[in-house]
Structure 1
Amino acid sequence: MNINFAMWRKATWELIKMDDKKEWEALDVISKWLIATRSAVTTVTIYSCIIAGFLAWRDGYFSWLPWIIVTLGLFIAHGTNNLLNDYTDFSRGVDKDNYFRTQYGVHPLVQKFWTKENQIKWFIVSGVLATFSGVFALFYTQFNPFIIGLFAFGALVLLFYTWPFKYWGIGEFSIFLIWGPIMIGAVYTVLALGHGGDISNVFKVALAGVPFGLSVASINIGKHIDKMVDDKQKGVGTFPVRVGQTFARYTNIASILIAYGVIFYLVATGYFSTLMLLVVFAAQRAMYAVAVLTKPRPDSAPKGFEAFWPTWFSGFCFYHNRLFGGLFILGILLDTVARKYESALPLNINTLGAIALGIGLIYAIVQMQIAKKKAQN
């Protein structure tokens, strides 16, 4: 068994489909874990931690070692949750009969790549590793009650997201909280307390995490709309099942638009500089997602989208999130660097942001014109 670095890279960027058990067995342990835990999706945890790290650096609280330990622990915890999710749904008879989950990626239990006992072992090992990270965070912050509360809340969501939260229609809201204000606020707090710093700013940090949390939740809501027919038949009461497709679609539109609204508010109030407005370059993808969400889900794959089916709403939301998340992180990085070295800058931070935005808009317009001419030819 050789280490397959190419598969590591691929599995963290896209959901892997595989039907040959021999091909599965030839993979190294890390590749199997990345595929089984759907790491193309769990990388959103790393993005949340990066955002928290930049905000902590901005306030003078960043340290590499605790950040790496906490980030790896949360990434593994997210993967652990997905292992439990698949185990629970498989055991309850949900993941069968060509169910949505089995169509877009490898499901080791359904495809008999391994047994339920194997899945439990992987869950336990992953859970123990994630717990070590949590214990480190507790010691690092001297068992701060706030961190204990966040740790308990995270463990609660980890264990009960698949059942009963998802069945009660609050799983989507849990996703927003965890990968937005809670995780970003928690990682920031761990780093700040470890430095003996002041955490009175944590509310603004949590608010800064809201846009990313909403963007991540939009993928989850989109996925649950995509599979709501199957979920309803199997008694899985997700948010779309409980409120109906139309209400769920417009809720998802609101989550995308509010994400931008919060960023504009934070820029207007001075928490972020105009450098954060770089996220507007993801607006085109946001409009694609919004336009699709204004219409009911088609019964079959539209022409040209066969390769992505059955993901429809979730596919467009994922496509938006990739660029939005990247620009959000880039904006925070530039904002942080500019604030750290403000005295050396030739211009005001907001002026620099406005100039960067203007250059970007000119570039976007030029590219659109080039694409238009190519299409005409």
Structure 2
Amino acid sequence: MWRNWLEIYRTCNLSADRPMDPVSRWLLVVRCCVFPMTLISAAIGGLLAVTVGRFEPIPFLLAAVGLLLAHAANNMINDYFDLETGLDTPEYVRAQYAPHPVLSGLVTRGQLLRAILVVNALDALIALALTALRGWPILAFALAGLFISVFYVAPPLRLKRIGLGELGVFLVWGPLMIGGTFYATTGMLPGWVWAASLPYALLVATVLIGKHIDKLEQDRAQGIRTLPVLLGERAARALNAGLMVAFYLAVLGLVAARIMGPWLLLTLLGVPRLITVLRTYARPRPAAPPPGYPVWPLWYVSWAFTFNRRAGALFLAGLLLNLIVPIPFPR
């Protein structure tokens, strides 16, 4: 079964010749393949906490588990409301690149709704425990994240439909997740943490923009005004390429301002991958997927996601090396 789980984690899919086990079913339902972004955000918050010498493991673990549960709930909420509003159909992109929880028969609508309620209830217990430990700011972080998660697709706001979904993701995976983890772990929140959360927030935003570029034509036909729909494909591809470059500019700014140590420049090892991704974004999507490509008709989001994981891992490595073998700034 662990081979099933690894395949789902890597590709968002399970091969037809593999037997479906209960864990695999729910890994597909919650879309665990995109959890690395949340894990990286939580890890950044934790490592930043270590830099101030106030790392407390139990609050950190509670925060990290809470964020993973929140991400799982977010994915299920998106699928539930997009199905209820008639957006998700067998012909829509969501049901083509990976199994839709209900349309593929993995679960029923009722089971999906109950799972959403259970996961959010567990998250609420974690939030209350951390609030008892750290005070009301924990609730502020949790409620802000829940607001964006629910109204990303739910009426009356439907942030995705009015070009604000990408901004919401930037705020959640950056300041809210990284800043919230730092606060839960340390009980404090200095201003420099907000700045340190911005580079990775940019990377996560590129993943969603890439996905919305891939769905642009279908979204436009449905009246969904995502940022790529508003900008047009060529401009949206240029924007995403610019945000990937902006990640490195933000890292250089953090080091130049002496907010982060020089080891953060390790992220520059990801520039060769960046060049490959930028070349891909400069070209139209191919007419057919390469052999063995697992998530067609998605294309641009895959390149953004692989870049996210590479750059995010190097960002974490730089933070870790700043702690283990710090390099003093020249005076």
TM-score (norm 2): 0.92
- C-alpha distance in structure 1 between counterparts of 2:323 and 2:48, whole Å: 7
**C-alpha RMSD of the superposition:** 2.0
> 1 or 2 for the larger relative contact order (CA 8 Å, sep ≥6)?
2
CA distances 1:216-268 after superposition (whole Å, capped 9, x unpaired): 11111001000111111222221111221122112111210111001001111
Which one of 223, 226, 231 corresponds to residue 235 of structure 1?
Answer: 223
Alignment of 1:26-37 (within 5 A): 27-28=21-22, 30-37=23-30
1:278–1:328 Cα contact (<8 Å) kept: yes
Within the alignment, does 1:316 sit opposite 2:303 as a pair?
A: yes
Within the alignment, does 1:12 sit opposite 2:5 as a pair?
A: no
- C-alpha distance in structure 2 between counterparts of 1:165 and 1:327, whole Å: 31
Within the alignment, does 1:132 sit opposite 2:138 as a pair?
A: no
- C-alpha distance in structure 2 between counterparts of 1:186 and 1:88, whole Å: 27
Which one of 77, 82, 86 corresponds to residue 89 of structure 1?
Answer: 82
* Amino acid aligned to 2:73: T
Could you say if the C-alpha distance between residues 49 and 307 of structure 1 is closer, same or farther in structure 2, counting changes exceeding 3 Å? closer
1:16–1:106 Cα contact (<8 Å) kept: yes
Secondary structure of the equivalent of 2:10? coil
- C-alpha distance in structure 1 between counterparts of 2:107 and 2:295, whole Å: 26
Could you say if the C-alpha distance between residues 106 and 349 of structure 1 is closer, same or farther in structure 2, counting changes exceeding 3 Å? farther
1:275–1:350 Cα contact (<8 Å) kept: no
How many percent of aligned residue pairs carry the same amino acid?
Answer: 30
Which one of 147, 152, 165 corresponds to residue 143 of structure 2?
Answer: 152
- The worse-fitting range, judged by mean Cα deviation, of 7-16 and 276-285 is 7-16
**1:113 shift after superposition:** 2.5
Q: Provide the residue aligned with 2:95 in structure 1.
A: 102
- The worse-fitting range, judged by mean Cα deviation, of 218-227 and 177-186 is 177-186
2:63–2:181 Cα contact (<8 Å) kept: yes
2:173–2:204 Cα contact (<8 Å) kept: yes
Which one of 61, 71, 81 corresponds to residue 68 of structure 1?
Answer: 61
Larger radius of gyration: 1
Could you say if the C-alpha distance between residues 68 and 306 of structure 1 is closer, same or farther in structure 2, counting changes exceeding 3 Å? closer
1:55–1:336 Cα contact (<8 Å) kept: no
2:92–2:218 Cα contact (<8 Å) kept: yes
Secondary structure of the equivalent of 1:43? helix
2:175–2:197 Cα contact (<8 Å) kept: yes
Q: Provide the residue aligned with 2:38 in structure 1.
A: 45
**1:130 shift after superposition:** 1.4
- C-alpha distance in structure 2 between counterparts of 1:49 and 1:31, whole Å: 24
- C-alpha distance in structure 2 between counterparts of 1:261 and 1:131, whole Å: 37
Q: Provide the residue aligned with 2:186 in structure 1.
A: 192
2:164–2:227 Cα contact (<8 Å) kept: yes
Which one of 104, 122, 125 corresponds to residue 115 of structure 2?
Answer: 122
**1:147 shift after superposition:** 3.1
1:173–1:217 Cα contact (<8 Å) kept: yes
Could you say if the C-alpha distance between residues 121 and 307 of structure 1 is closer, same or farther in structure 2, counting changes exceeding 3 Å? closer
**1:90 shift after superposition:** 1.4
Within the alignment, does 1:335 sit opposite 2:322 as a pair?
A: yes
Which one of 219, 228, 247 corresponds to residue 235 of structure 2?
Answer: 247
**1:47 shift after superposition:** 1.0
Secondary structure of the equivalent of 1:191? helix
2:57–2:185 Cα contact (<8 Å) kept: no
* Amino acid aligned to 2:151: F
* Amino acid aligned to 1:289: V
- C-alpha distance in structure 1 between counterparts of 2:78 and 2:230, whole Å: 20
Which one of 226, 247, 260 corresponds to residue 259 of structure 1?
Answer: 247
1:61–1:191 Cα contact (<8 Å) kept: yes
Q: Structure 1 stretches of 5 or more lacking a match?
A: 340-347, 352-377
- C-alpha distance in structure 2 between counterparts of 1:98 and 1:227, whole Å: 12
- C-alpha distance in structure 2 between counterparts of 1:32 and 1:305, whole Å: 22
* Amino acid aligned to 2:227: F
- C-alpha distance in structure 1 between counterparts of 2:271 and 2:183, whole Å: 31
**1:56 shift after superposition:** 0.3
TM-score (norm 1): 0.81
Q: Structure 2 stretches of 5 or more lacking a match?
A: none
